Amino acid sequence: MTTSIRPFLIGALAATAVPAMALEPDPIAGRGVYETLCASCHGDEARGDGPLAALLTVMPADLTQLTAQNDGVFPVIQVIRQIDGRDPMLAHGGVMPIFGQMFDFPDAAIASEAGQPIITAQPIADVTAWLETVQE
């Protein structure tokens, strides 16, 4: 192999082996995802008072209090783990979301409380970013 072809092949192999760059979280898009998938239980303003809340045996959490309940730090990792099912909520019937593959792709990176990037699905990163904006 000639030396002029080697850099091209290395670059081509690297491009196919490395996943696409993760997108930044978008809280505006997160509000839309929240309104579509979460507000019926958690309420329009994320206070746990959605129209279906009265039908549930376990009341939905007031999501505006997550920072206050975590010593003033928004619990990014905890929120992501509950939404993506790594830390299932029994009130959600086990693994959440119950929406199946809607949260499977594309990937996004969001910073944890300590600043390390967490890779998750773009809609989950977006919802998490929006929830951080509604903390009281």
Within a domain: 19: no
Q: How many residues can be counted in the chain? A: 136
Q: Are 110 and 129 in contact (CB under 8 A)?
A: yes
Within a domain: 58: yes
Within a domain: 98: yes
- Work out the burial of residue 65: count CB atoms within 10 Å of its CB; fewer than 13 is exposed, 13-18 middle, 19 or more buried: middle
What is the pTM for the complete model shown? 0.76
CATH number at residue 120: 1.10.760
Within a domain: 13: no
What pLDDT tens digit does each residue of the chain (136 aa) get?
445 554 444 444 444 443 455 678 999 999 999 999 899 999 999 999 999 999 988 889 999 999 999 999 999 999 998 887 777 666 655 555 566 566 666 788 889 999 999 888 899 999 999 999 999 9
CA atoms of 124 and 129, how far apart (whole Å):
8
